[in-house]
Structure 1
Amino acid sequence: MTLSGLFVPMITPFDRSDAVDLDGLTKLAGQVLDDGATGLVALGTTAEPSALTAAEKRDVLDVVSAVCRERRAPMIVGANTPDELGHLADRPEAVAALTLVPPFVRPGEAGVVAYFERTAQLSPVPLVVYHVPYRTGQPLSASALRDIAAIPDIAGFKYAVGGIDATTMEFLADPPPVAILGGDDQFISPLLALGAHGGIMASAHLATRAFAELIADWRPGLGHRLARLAATLFAEPNPTVIKAVLHAHGRLQTPAVRLPLIPASVTALTAAGAAEAAVAEA
């Protein structure tokens, strides 16, 4: 299985009582698929999973599963523990689990490879390895990335190293036969130019059609405009600005996030709105 195209990691909307707005999530998920997204990601970082209860996580997963089942769209699910992975066994919409390189402990490259060997054995679905070293504290060489890619049932990578560095160039010069999905929204255009198969992009809650068009038919001009939009949407912690813009458009009841996140500033909202308008007008 090679994953490709645009996957949108869904936010978790909250209503005015701070409960999860499941109806709002259903509508938003359906809209991004209608606007050209290939599939959805449930319970990724953008969903604020650490701020959700176990029951809320189940509810969110049920909603995203139902939307993907109705639209015949693939779903990737953020899952890092044996218990979380086990819950995917009876969800046919789940084509892969998005599993983070072990954070904070910095086990070294050999430890990361061993971890994914074991985790892939335990998982009922293939894994998309989430490589985001500026968050996990664990860099990986091109050689280590290829070792991970060679593990059975590794479907690919969400590749988010914070830019286009020497390791990226080396890795993509001789890529393994798995999916490379860009995870840094601002750098999706150059990563596509280097051969990435698509992206997992929170920014694509907005300008979804344009992001889908960029992946289907890469063009630098569109890529530059979308990079500016992504930069404004990530100017403050994700997903605060995205929620603020969606609320301003009437697509969410509230722009609320849960602590430790705080709502986006008016300055960030204004800048994101201008960048979004520039994409729409081009």
Structure 2
Amino acid sequence: MLHVPLITPFDATGAVAYDALEALANEVLASGAAGIVALGTTAEPGSLSDSEKRTVVDLIAGVCVSRRAHLIVGAGVEHADATAALALVPPFVRPGEAGVIAYFDALAEASPVPLIIYHVPYRTGQPLSAAAIRRLAEIPGVVGMKYAPGGIDADTIALLADPPFQMLCGDDLFLAPMLALGAHGGILASAHIATAQFAELVSAPSRELGHRLARLSSALFAEPNPTVIKGVLHAQGRIPTPDVRLPLLPAAKSNLTLPLRESLASST
């Protein structure tokens, strides 16, 4: 399954461009995504007010309900129509594997919806062994993982050979090899661009398409996410500005040429 963690578009005044957000939600679902992540890290949630967050989630939920699509919400967000919540491994504090397991035990017990764990150790500072991930999969209410270890190592190969729960690729660049190893799909910011092709790759892995989309993903992550993605969406006329909020800065225009070219190549 393919899920797209939607950006938050802004208009020329700096306000959230809700019409553009609704259009994006409809576009990615119409193009083959199975669901949307609302207020994931790609959405710049730390820069949004509580009111903006509520409106964003309500809007995306309405689109998902009307299209019978999955709605995954960021951690700390509740919505009656949510299929699951995406919960980050505790960042910065590095509690150790036992602490991570205890944390998700408590979080899953309190959560009104199932949890998908977001494991991204190069951001959180907390590695997890294959054994620890299998222990997390035993927790009632934990149904999957957005898996973004930053590469493919022996633990990745062992996990994907016998996945303990839904393993969703979160490293866009490694989608094709992770699918080949046994991943069930992905939560991919790159899939804002060439959504239909990412959905095709998830449903029917192809070496040629995998190579093309890996090049696209590499170009889209040339600067901090989602700055290049927003620049490309703006250049395509799909959002009113390429703007982001601090601490992010807009992508350099020179970094938009390659992903625009790759997006055209991937759609042919």
- TM-score range normalised by the length of the shorter chain: over 0.9
The superposition leaves residues 249-275 of structure 1 with CA deviations (integer Å, 9 ceiling, x where unpaired) of: 110000000011000111110111121
Are positions 1:134 and 2:130 aligned together? Answer: no
- CA RMSD, aligned part only? 0.8
Q: Identity of counterpart residues, as a percentage?
A: 61
Instruction: Give the match's secondary structure for 2:83.
Output: strand
Match of 1:189 in 2: 176
Of 201, 219, 224, which residue of structure 2 is paired with 1:232? 219
Matches of residues 1-282 of structure 1 in structure 2 within 5 Å? 5-79=1-75, 84-85=76-77, 87-88=78-79, 91-92=80-81, 94-176=82-164, 178-281=165-268
d(CA) in 2 for partners of 1:227 and 1:112? 31
Q: Letter of the aligned partner of 1:22 in structure 2? A: Y
d(CA) in 2 for partners of 1:267 and 1:278? 18
d(CA) in 1 for partners of 2:139 and 2:117? 11
Question: Which consecutive segments of 4 or more residues in structure 1 shift more than 4 A?
Answer: none
d(CA) in 1 for partners of 2:160 and 2:174? 14
TM score, norm. by length of structure 1: 0.94
The superposition leaves residues 159-201 of structure 1 with CA deviations (integer Å, 9 ceiling, x where unpaired) of: 001111121112222321x210000100000000011110000
Instruction: Give the match's secondary structure for 1:181.
Output: strand
How far has the Cα of 1:29 moved from its partner? 0.4
Q: Letter of the aligned partner of 1:170 in structure 2? A: A
Which range moved further: 265-274 or 202-211? 265-274
The superposition leaves residues 212-262 of structure 1 with CA deviations (integer Å, 9 ceiling, x where unpaired) of: 000010111100100000000001000000000110011000000001100
How far has the Cα of 1:280 moved from its partner? 2.2
* Alignment size in residue pairs: 268
How far has the Cα of 1:279 moved from its partner? 1.1
Which 5+ residue runs of structure 2 have no aligned equivalent? none
d(CA) in 1 for partners of 2:70 and 2:108? 19
d(CA) in 1 for partners of 2:120 and 2:257? 28
Instruction: Give the match's secondary structure for 2:248.
Output: coil
d(CA) in 1 for partners of 2:6 and 2:264? 22
TM score, norm. by length of structure 2: 0.98
Instruction: Give the match's secondary structure for 1:128.
Output: strand
Instruction: Give the match's secondary structure for 1:158.
Output: strand
d(CA) in 2 for partners of 1:173 and 1:73? 28
Instruction: Give the match's secondary structure for 1:156.
Output: strand
Q: Letter of the aligned partner of 2:28 in structure 1? A: V
